[in-house]
């Protein structure tokens, strides 16, 4: 979405984030709902090494995709593949 958007880097990062926000957030919420069942396990090993790890990785992945990557693209992103409407 960033490479095919038209405009400066900040505008393209904003358009890419608008395009990808809902799918990334939906995937994270569905993953957290699936992993949430592990939190009720009576085995401490399952809670500590499966639930906690998967929940933290999901949250870090969402922060990476919705915060860090758009900021990095707006600063250091490549030039667009398209130059305008033809």
Question: What ranges do the domains of the chain cover?
Answer: 20-76
pLDDT at 27 over 90: yes
Helix, strand, coil percentages for the chain (3-state, nearest 5) = 75, 0, 25
Computed over every residue of the chain, the mean pLDDT equals 92
pLDDT score recorded for residue 76: 93
Give tens-digit pLDDT for 67-80: 999 999 999 999 88
Interatomic CA distance for residues 40 and 46, integer angstroms: 9
Taking residues 8-26, what's their average pLDDT? Answer: 94
Local structure of 27: helix, strand or coil: helix
Interatomic CA distance for residues 32 and 52, integer angstroms: 11
How would residue 84 be classed by pLDDT, with cut points 50, 70 and 90?
low
Instruction: Indicate the range of 1-10, 28-37, 60-69 predicted with least confidence.
Output: 1-10
């Amino acid at each position: 979405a960033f490479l095919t958007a038209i405009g400066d880097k900040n505008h393209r990062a904003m358009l890419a984030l608008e395009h990808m926000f809902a799918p990334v957030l939906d995937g994270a919420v569905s993953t957290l709902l699936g992993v949430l069942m592990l939190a009720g396990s009576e085995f401490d090993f399952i809670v500590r090494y499966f639930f906690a790890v998967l929940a933290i990785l999901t949250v870090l992945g969402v922060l990476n995709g919705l915060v860090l990557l758009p900021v990095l693209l707006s600063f250091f992103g490549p030039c667009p593949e398209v130059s305008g409407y033809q």
